[in-house]
Structure 1
Amino acid sequence: MRKLKIAYSRVFNFLIYRYFKLRFKKNKEILAKNFENGKFAIEVFSKMGFGANLIWVLEILAFCEEKNLTPYIKFRNPSKRIGATSFSELVKVQPENSEKTSLKYAAIRNFSNLSLPDPWNYNARLTIERANFLVKKYIKLNIQLFHEVNTFETLNFKEYTVIGIHYRGTDKITEAPAVHYDAVLSVMQQEIKKSKNKLKFFIASDDQGFIDFVRNNIPESALIIRSLKRSGNGKPIHISFRDYKAVNREALIDCLLLSKCSKLYKTASILSGCSVIFNPQLEVEMLNEPYPEYRFFPEKFLISKSKI
């Protein structure tokens, strides 16, 4: 059985390799034709998390703004069976894609697959203000989810000063120093001591162990924690969970709710970094800093506010 699985995996990977090789070969022709018509149509095959995908969208939009092109963007996760296209269902770029059109899409797994004459450096050129402008101009969030976020805010944030806490507990130790639970607890206890208003903490995390730790050390009445599946084994949920649609949906909800907090304490994570894109006035303090080679947008604008 093991040999059969290995053989199947090799055949599958070979077919995937051939598929993308053929798609990439057609990119130059597709791009040239679409550029003539003032369009940039791109299908992104990505295994990344929600935050990283959103930043890729912003890079594409920045490119289209500069080149005066109309963007058409589709995302697909090739490794997931459930909700493989869910990112594009939640974050819709205007004008929305039409299946009836004969528009052809260039395919990428990274921007080098486009083979453009100039280097792709749009991540380095993004600013928080520019990203916020692009979001307002081009992006339409899923309306049902948007209403859910507003309802949650009304029911849980009203009449309180709400401080957001985002703790990325999986897979970021290769990109930034780990932050111990006690360090986050110390920050929360300091906020409780100096608070003169009714204070609550909105806790967002992929780490079930961190959620349990906070609940054991902070009164439940001071916590706002959504009920959802989290990682219990250190593996990133956008990789280990089969339901990619649910992962994307919950990630976007957390991102938007963090953007509505009075202040945000966060560990290195593009997801919570994106909260500042939706609310450029959000006060942020980072609890660690990404290593120099991982200081991308938007976190590179936040690391000067590191607390620990």
Structure 2
Amino acid sequence: MSSIKQFLNTAYQRVIDYYFNLRLQCNQQLILKNKSNGIFAVEVFSKMGFGANFIWLLEILEYCDSAGLKPFVIFRNPSKRIGSKSFSEFVKFKNDSQKPFFLHYAVMRSFKELGLNTAWNYNSALTLERANYLLNKYLKIDAEVTEFVHKYSAIEFKANRIIGVHFRGTDKIAEAPAVSYEQVKKVLLSEFEKESQNIQFFLASDDHTFIDYMTLEFEENQILCRTINRSKNGKPIHITAKNHREVNREALIDCLILAKCDKLIKTASILSGCSVVFNPNLEVEMLNEPYPNYRFFPEKLFLK
């Protein structure tokens, strides 16, 4: 049975690759035609997590805003069948009603595949203020998600000070030094020592064991944590989970709840970095620094 499943997955991936390569051949003509009509339309084939996709989207928006083009972007995860386009279902465009009926999209797996004349350096051009401007100008978040976040914070945020804690485990050790559970605990205890007011910690993590550890180390009324699917084997949930729609939804919810906190204590992760795009005034304490090759926006702004 496993061999049949492997065969079907391989066949599915080959079909996707063939389909992508056919469309890639038409890129230049599509880009020129759309740009002549003041439009930039691209379908991004990406296996990255929610945070990385969101930053790619901001880079595309920066390019379009600078060039005076109307952006239309779709994200597709070619390795997923359930929810393969769910990122674009949750992060939508305000101008969708203006989309031409017959709109053809160029495709990309990396920016160089767009074949644009200028070097793609829009990641280095982004600031928190600029990213927040692009977010508010072009994007709208799924209404069900924003309503959930509003209700959650209204009901669960009971302390005078709410501190968001994002611990990225699994594969992040390849991009930044590991941070131990004990180190995070020590930082959280120090927050109690320097604050006279009562505190709650909202925990967000892809690591099931981290959540278990923290909920045992602190009082129940001190910890806020949602019950969602997390990795129990050290493998990234956005890669191993079958339902990609659920993964994207929960990642976005965590990102938005963290943005509503008074302070963010985080390990290196673009997802929680995106929380600061939603709230540029959010106080941030970063517990580790990405290795030099991984210091992209917005993480590079939080280095000590």
- What's the TM-score bracket when you normalise by the shorter of the two chains? over 0.9
State the TM-score, normalized to the length of structure 2.
0.96
Distance 1:11 1:202, change over 3 A: closer
Residues 1-308 of structure 1 mapped to structure 2, 5 A cutoff: 11-96=11-96, 101-304=101-304
Separation in 2 of the partners of 1:55 and 1:192? 34
State the TM-score, normalized to the length of structure 1.
0.94
- Contact kept? 1:71, 1:94, Cα under 8 Å: no
Separation in 1 of the partners of 2:240 and 2:288? 25
Distance 1:276 1:2, change over 3 A: closer
- Contact kept? 2:164, 2:202, Cα under 8 Å: yes
SS of residue paired to 1:228: coil
TM-superposed CA distance for 1:20, in Å, is 1.8
Distance 1:91 1:80, change over 3 A: same
Separation in 2 of the partners of 1:10 and 1:203? 37
TM-superposed CA distance for 1:100, in Å, is 7.3
**Percentage identity across aligned positions?**
52
Unaligned runs of 5+ in 1: none
Distance 1:6 1:230, change over 3 A: closer
State the number of aligned residues. Answer: 304
Q: Match for 1:208: what amino acid?
A: H
Separation in 2 of the partners of 1:140 and 1:164? 23
Separation in 1 of the partners of 2:77 and 2:252? 16
Q: Match for 1:92: what amino acid?
A: K
Separation in 1 of the partners of 2:7 and 2:82? 24
Unaligned runs of 5+ in 2: none
SS of residue paired to 1:172: helix
TM-superposed CA distance for 1:149, in Å, is 0.4
- Contact kept? 1:167, 1:207, Cα under 8 Å: yes
Separation in 2 of the partners of 1:123 and 1:112? 14
- Contact kept? 1:73, 1:97, Cα under 8 Å: no
The CA RMSD over aligned residues, in Å, is: 1.7
Distance 1:97 1:290, change over 3 A: farther
SS of residue paired to 2:171: coil
Q: Match for 1:203: what amino acid?
A: L
TM-superposed CA distance for 1:158, in Å, is 3.9
- Contact kept? 2:259, 2:276, Cα under 8 Å: yes
TM-superposed CA distance for 1:166, in Å, is 0.3
* Cα deviation digits, residues 83-128 of structure 1 (max 9, x gap): 1111111000221177871010001111111011111111111111
Q: Match for 2:256: what amino acid?
A: L
Separation in 2 of the partners of 1:107 and 1:57? 14
Q: Match for 1:128: what amino acid?
A: L
Distance 1:38 1:222, change over 3 A: same
